[in-house]
Each structure stands twice: as C-alpha cells, then as structure tokens.
Structure 1
Amino acid sequence: MSNDSGLFSIKEASDWTDTSQCLPSVGGATFLIVAYSAVIAIALIGNAGLVFIIARQQELRNVTNILIANLSCSDILMSMVCLPVTIIYTLMDRWVLGEALCKVTPFVQCTSVTVSVFSLVLIALERHQLILHPTGWSPAARHSYLAVGLTWLVACVISLPFLSFNILTNDPFQNISLPASPFRDHLICMELWPSDEHRLAYTTSLLLFQYLLPLLLVLLCYLRIFLRLRRRRDMLERSRRPQGAQRINAMLLAIVVAFALCWLPLNVFNTLFDWHHQALPDCQHDTVFSACHLSAMASTCINPIVYGFLNSNFQRELKLTLQRCQCGNRAAESYESFPLSTVGSEGATKTTSLNRMGSVCAPSPRPEISSAKTMPANTS
C-alpha cells in the first residue's frame, strides 16, 4: 500500500530509453504542482489546527479524539515529507535529494499509512465496545496514549524493509547504448530486493494487513453498531442522545470510507505493477501513477474536513481560539462563561468554563449558554 511503484521502482534499461521521450507537458506539470500544493496546504493547516484544539482543550481529550489527533499527526508527517519529495521526483524523473531521503521517504510513508489505518481500527473498536457493551470495560484516555505508542512502534517495524532495500543508483542508465547518453550521470531511487519472491511476498502482505483486513474489520464493527442501533429504533425516537451517537458514528464511518476510496486506485496500480507491470503503457505510466498517488494523498485532507469542519464542537472551539488570538494583546475586562461539551468515553458529558483559559472580547459577562449536541459514547 505504501510502496510508490511509480517512484521507487525497478525498470529495465530499455524502459528508460523509451520513457525518456515521454516528458510531461507544461500543462500537466503545472497541474501536478498546483494539485499537490493544495493538498499539502489543506492537510498541514487543517490537521495542525485539529491537533492544536484537541491538545489545548482538556475536555476534548477523550479516547476517540486522541486517536483522531494521532491520525492527524500521521497525515502531517506524510504531508511534510512524502508529498514534496513525490512531486519533485515525478517532475524531474531522477533523484536529486540524496541517499538519506531515498531511504527515509518510503519508510515514512509506510509508517504514516500504517498508523492511519491502525488508528481507524482502534476508533472503530472503541465505538463498538461502548455501544454494544456499555456496561463492560471502557477504555480511558491513558489507554489511548499507550495504544498510540504501540501503533507507532509496530508501524516502524513493519516499514523497516524500506530502509534496507531502497538504494540510490545509476545502474539502469549504464546499459543504455546511446552515444553521449544524457542519462549516464542520473540517479534513481529504487527498491533492490534479494529476489522477486521476497518483494512480492512483502508487498502482498502490506496490501492484506495494511489495507484489506483492517478496513474489513472496521466496516464489520460499524455494521454491528448500525444493526444494534436500528434494533433500538423506538428508544432512539424518544431520546436525542442516541441520535447524537448515530450522527458521530456516521461521521467516523465517513472518514473510513473516504480513506478506503482514496487509497483504492494506488493499491490497484501497485498490485498491477507488482504482478504484471508490462500491462502499463510506458508513456502513460507516470500519468496514471500521478493520478492514483494524488488520490491517495488526498486522504490526508479527510480528517480535518470530515471530522473537524463538519463537527459543531470543533467549529465552536476554532471560533473561540480565533477570538482569543485576536484579543490576546488586549487587556481583559471580564471573563465569559461558556461550557464546553464533548463525548467522554465513560458516557458522561463534561463541562467547564473559559475562565482559566484567558479572556475573550466581551465587555461584560453573558449568561451561561447551553452546550451543543453531545456525542454520547454509551448509547445502549
């Protein structure tokens, strides 16, 4: 799933002579630069804002939000490292970034994708436990921090082969029999495995354990949640709280479905490349890869858009944060009491005031405002 076949690939010497005539057009290169730049900007700003607000507000640090923040951190890492490298290598068609980045970039991408998938799985399992077994064990915030650490550790271990088998070389250009070949001094970043069997075994394992099986488990969890809530339709009609649970579950499921759809084209491309790369036309190879890779990288924008900007709690916290920034240099005349709501893993809605977080632009205190719809974890 994380193997950028179009970037870190093994080509025959004849392939390079053929693709040397398939240079990207000015319009195509401009589109790639604009598209990747937009993805990078949205991913960095959106995910950084989401992490900042969750970290700043104590009330938002429940299990689900901590895992959402972890998902955003993995997207930030990919946006900072993988996306700029990808656009540079795609446009130049040779590696100019040094051996360290040649090894680190695919390692970071594999790690980031693995963390993202595992975070989605943990979120689904937590929702499943709280809704189907509300009186049983409920994970606490400290458990989520432990899960986050283990997720990154496992992801790094899974990604280690990229550090070992990615090399910087100009060997494919040495066999090109052209007078005064312009490619002789070019370097490429490619995977060099002990055998094709090792490479296929690893990439197929990634497809199964980093994409297909985790997403299947997530969809199964949300299916059971949906069936449980549907069986209690009469109770749902008499209570607003379960309706809020349905809304937040639908939102979390939307993140999973969008993530799966974004990564599907690149997984299909990589599978086809690994098992039958001759089926990909030479001149269309980079174009098809760029489209598939851009779709996958768009997944880094899903979290802040779906979770953040469609979530009333996040919108309220964002507005309050912007107000505090605007008023940060002004003397505080008074404090405004504004209770914040969140979904506690224990099923309780917590409230607090802004008195301890700083002043806001208000000439006088206003009456306490009721909180927005909460998202209860316990919907049984």
Structure 2
Amino acid sequence: MSLEETFVLNPVMTNKLASNVSWTYSNHTPSAAENPVWYPGIVIAAAYGFIILVGLVGNITLIKTFCSVTSMRTVPNLFMSSLALGDLLLLVTCAPVDASRYLVDKWLFGRVGCKLIPFIQLTSVGVSVFTLTALSADRYKAIVKPMDIQTSNATAKICIRAAMIWIFSMTLAIPEAVFSDLHTFSVAQTNETFVTCAPYPHAGDLHPKIHSMASFLIFYVIPLFVISVYYFFIARSLIRSACNIPVEGNMHIRRQIESRKRLAKMVLVFVGLFAVCWLPNHVIYLYRSYHYSQVDTSLLHFVSSVCARMLAFTNSCVNPFALYLLSRSFQKQFQRQLCCCCPPLTPQSQSHGRSTIRMTSLKSTHHSLASFSLINGNHICHEGHWNSQEQKQIVFFTTPILKQKILHVVSTVNLT
C-alpha cells in the first residue's frame, strides 16, 4: 500500500490543497516574501513529533521488557516484540518524512528515498497486520486445539514464524520500490509543473484504482476477515467450555480458561486498534484513486486527510500502552524498565534463601481448607491436623526435589 498523502502541501498554494500526489516541489523558486511561514504546517509537524516520541518510548520499553525478563518471553509476547519492531521502523523512517511535507514544499530525499521510504512503509504495515493474524491463529490453537501445541523448541519456532512474516511483507513491498519514482505533473489551473514521488505515473485512472484496491484487500480486508474467522471459533469454543464446566468444577481449569480469555481479548483489542486507525487512510486513498481526475481542494478534505494520516501513525505507538492497561504483569515490568534507577526483579527464593510452597485441599464433607509450608525443610501446619506418617512424608521432600514430588504428596495426603 502506498502510504503517501496524495496532495500538494505548498504554502504558496494555500487555496489549492490537493493535486492527488504525495511530496512535491514546484519548478520555480519563490522568494521569502512569496513563501511565508505556514503555521498550520508547524502545528501538524509538532503533532507528528509527539506521536514519534511517545511511540519510541513505548515500543523501545516493550522490546526491552520482553528481552530482559525471562518470564515474559511467551509466544504472544514474542509476536508483540516483532510488532513493536515494525512500529519502530515506521516511526523512525516514515513518520518524519511525512511530517516534512507540511514544512517544506519540495521532496527532500531524492530518487533513492522515493523508492526506499514507500518500501519501508509497506513492509511495516504488512508486519503489523500479518503479525496480528499470526497472534489470532496462536490464540485459536491455544483455546480451540490446545492438544496440538508443541512445547519443544517453541521459542525457536515462533522466531522463525516472525522472520517469515518479515520476509513475506518485504516481498509484497518490492513492487512498491520498483514502481515508485519521481514523476513530473502539471496543474492545469496554475500552469505550474512539479515533481512528486508517486507509485505510478499520471497516465490514467487505471493504475491508482488497481493500486488502492489491491492495497485495501491485501493489507486490510483479507487479514481482518481471517482474524474474524479465528475469533468466531474462539468465541464458540469458550462458550461451550463455560457451559460444560459444572458449578463446583475444577478451579485449575476455570483459571486456565479465564487466562486464555484474557489473552484472546488482548489480541482482539490490538486488532480493533489496527482496524480503527487504518480504515480512514484506506477510505481516503480509495476516494482519491476513484476520483483521480477531479482534485478535491476543499478544507474538509484536507483536514480529513491529515487526521487519517496521523491516526494511521498513531497505531504504531498505542499498542504498548494498550498492553500496559490490559496486563498487570507487563504493567509492573514496564514501570521498572522506565525507571532506570529501580533494581531488576529478583525471585524471592533467591533473595531470602527460602522456598515456600502453599497447598490447599478441599475437604470433601465440610469444605474446609488446610495448608502447609516448607521453609528450609521444616514443616508448618495450618488449619488442620496431619498424622505423623503424613508429616514425615512431607518433610522428607525437601526443597531440591519438591517440584518432582509435589503430585505424589497431594495424592497421598488426606485431611482428618
């Protein structure tokens, strides 16, 4: 998809806000008196700067959190790291270029930049939408077909999938780099000519129609349709699971289902943010492509175009903060990563030299709870009575082998 704004932003042409092309410069050089400071452009560029700054802080902190905290390296989080990397690429390279069009009336980045910038833009968008699709597929497998999940070499497999998404996105972006070039256009109303970076020449209406429709289908409609199918089956499976579990069912199963629900909702929020942020940009691009010979110079069209562009770039900075609001564990780690002075999290067992395990068992008749703790091999009883044989058995399983014996302990201990 071509992410370029397709209209002229020339301070001299304040009444002609559009010419259905991207970054332009006129073939004449106006003097300082003819080219006054365009204050709306400064405001728009400042808004871009704010989006870039927030996005850099959020995405860098997210990647740093997932890389430095071992417990956070789950399958969804690995995909989120890849998504954050794509967002960083877009914010660092493409957002500043987009903002520069509102400050100067010429294309500043030459022919190489004309080919490279659209390629990076399309790659980043592809990484975003295809990673969200992969996340939805992962949630589908975890909820609908949990027995198919393979835990061996899971991290390596996810990294390979993420790399394949990047390669696939770059492959789809190659035509954008090949066909994007500096093209000369003319404005009939003013008899001016200008050069712009565009993915197609101004030779007819067919090229922009094909380009915009293909972009809309490949990078928006089809992935969101696939995601919708996945979530239809996820919702159906969760509803069936909730109906099949008895009121006094296994609490472990209930907690597992609730955890999977939260993850599925989290991915759905990211998908919804992508759909909302990118839809206006697609709609405006389609509108311009199908009205290619009719230039809309209205203020409404200009404002709508600017808002659509900024909303699209906003999608690259909101995901870390959405995750911050949805995940308590990520929230704690995110805060620690932002605060450089805070020491890293250390497990309690390492800092205090103790291992404490608390077990609860439901009494079959009175529904009372009993628990015990192992602290450095010493047994402590709580809310119940254990016979001497059971105490000996529990004390025997000291900390080094406790994890391997825990199921055996549970199966042999009975409340009196």
TM-score, length-normalised on structure 2?
0.70
Give the equivalent residue in structure 1 for 2:68.
56
Select 1:276's aligned residue among 291, 309, 313. Answer: 291
Give the equivalent residue in structure 2 for 1:247.
262
Q: Does 1:29 align with 2:37?
A: no
Give the equivalent residue in structure 1 for 2:94.
82
Q: Does 1:188 align with 2:201?
A: no
Q: How big is the shift at 1:200?
A: 2.9
8 Å Cα contact 2:45-2:100 kept in structure 1: no
User: 1:157-176 maps to which residues of 2 (within 5 A)?
Assistant: 157-169=171-183, 171-173=184-186
Select 1:129's aligned residue among 132, 135, 141. Answer: 141
Give the equivalent residue in structure 2 for 1:345.
none
User: 1:272-311 maps to which residues of 2 (within 5 A)?
Assistant: 272-277=287-292, 281-284=296-299, 285-311=301-327
Q: Does 1:66 align with 2:75?
A: no
Equivalent position SS for 1:188: strand
In 2, the alpha carbon distance for the partners of 1:127 and 1:53 equals 22
Deviations 1:244-296 (A, max 9, x none): 22122112101101110100100000111111245652143443221111111
Q: Does 1:229 align with 2:241?
A: no
Counterparts in 2 of 1:369 and 1:87: CA distance versus 1, 3 Å? farther
Equivalent position SS for 2:198: strand
Q: Structure 1 stretch 132-141 or stretch 155-164: which is displaced more?
A: 132-141
Structure whose alpha-carbon radius of gyration is higher: 2
8 Å Cα contact 1:55-1:61 kept in structure 2: yes
Larger relative contact order (CA 8 Å, sep ≥ 6): 1
User: 1:143-154 maps to which residues of 2 (within 5 A)?
Assistant: 143-154=157-168
Equivalent position SS for 1:99: helix
Counterparts in 2 of 1:269 and 1:25: CA distance versus 1, 3 Å? farther
Counterparts in 2 of 1:107 and 1:73: CA distance versus 1, 3 Å? same
Q: Which amino acid aligns with 2:230?
A: C
Q: Which amino acid aligns with 2:164?
A: L
Give the equivalent residue in structure 1 for 2:347.
337
Counterparts in 2 of 1:24 and 1:110: CA distance versus 1, 3 Å? farther
Deviations 1:228-254 (A, max 9, x none): 112222539752332222122112101
Equivalent position SS for 1:232: helix
Equivalent position SS for 2:228: helix
In 1, the alpha carbon distance for the partners of 2:273 and 2:307 equals 16
8 Å Cα contact 2:137-2:230 kept in structure 1: yes
Q: Which amino acid aligns with 1:299?
A: N
Q: Does 1:266 align with 2:274?
A: no
8 Å Cα contact 1:262-1:298 kept in structure 2: yes
- Percent identity for Structure 1 against Structure 2: 25
Counterparts in 2 of 1:65 and 1:24: CA distance versus 1, 3 Å? farther
Counterparts in 2 of 1:40 and 1:322: CA distance versus 1, 3 Å? closer
Select 1:109's aligned residue among 118, 121, 131. Answer: 121
Deviations 1:33-56 (A, max 9, x none): 232111111111101110111111
The root-mean-square deviation of aligned C-alpha atoms, in Å, is 3.3
Deviations 1:142-198 (A, max 9, x none): 1111111111111111111221222224x32598876xxxx66x6422233586534
Q: How big is the shift at 1:369?
A: 9.5
Unaligned runs of 5+ in 1: 339-352, 356-363, 371-380
In 2, the alpha carbon distance for the partners of 1:174 and 1:267 equals 25
Give the equivalent residue in structure 2 for 1:93.
105
Give the equivalent residue in structure 2 for 1:341.
none
Equivalent position SS for 1:90: coil
Equivalent position SS for 1:326: coil
In 2, the alpha carbon distance for the partners of 1:309 and 1:197 equals 45
Q: How big is the shift at 1:312?
A: 1.0
Give the equivalent residue in structure 2 for 1:208.
217
Q: Does 1:120 align with 2:132?
A: yes
In 1, the alpha carbon distance for the partners of 2:229 and 2:174 equals 30
Q: How big is the shift at 1:24?
A: 10
In 2, the alpha carbon distance for the partners of 1:65 and 1:273 equals 38
Q: Which amino acid aligns with 2:161?
A: A
Equivalent position SS for 1:172: strand
